[in-house]
Amino acid sequence: MGFSPPPRLALWLPALLLAGCGEANETPDKVIAKAKAEDRAVSCRLEDAPAFADTCSLEWRGTNADGAWIVVLRHKDGGFRRLILSPDGTLGQADGAQTLLLEKDAGKSLYVSLGSDHYRLRLDQLDAVQ
């Protein structure tokens, strides 16, 4: 005997399942192209990739109770990392057990490393919300 949802839930179930899917035509390449057009593309080197490539994107997800911005670094494959940008400009890890390493270069970039994932953020991308 299979699962049979209650009648009211059965009417809404298809809509609920589709609600979490995003746009049907939103391929990873389209997501990255949109991020580039909106100046949210981030150069990243994930896991064992040999070099940095503009295949990640930056998203702002509002603020937490302390007024710090939630920053999401999205990977082309759907993975992501969450960071916290405090009001004083300090960048920290939002969750997880891996150590966050930060290195500012002589130019206008900040290198962020979390485990085997590495990101090169332009400082003006982080200044955009402050």
Tell if the pTM clears 0.95, that is, is over it.
no
Half-sphere exposure of 68 (CA within 13 A, CB side): 16
pLDDT along the chain (130 residues), means of 10: 48 43 70 90 94 94 92 92 92 88 91 95 80
Cβ burial of 74 (10 Å; 0-12, 13-18, 19+) is buried
51-61 pLDDT per residue, tens:
999 999 999 99
DSSP 5: -
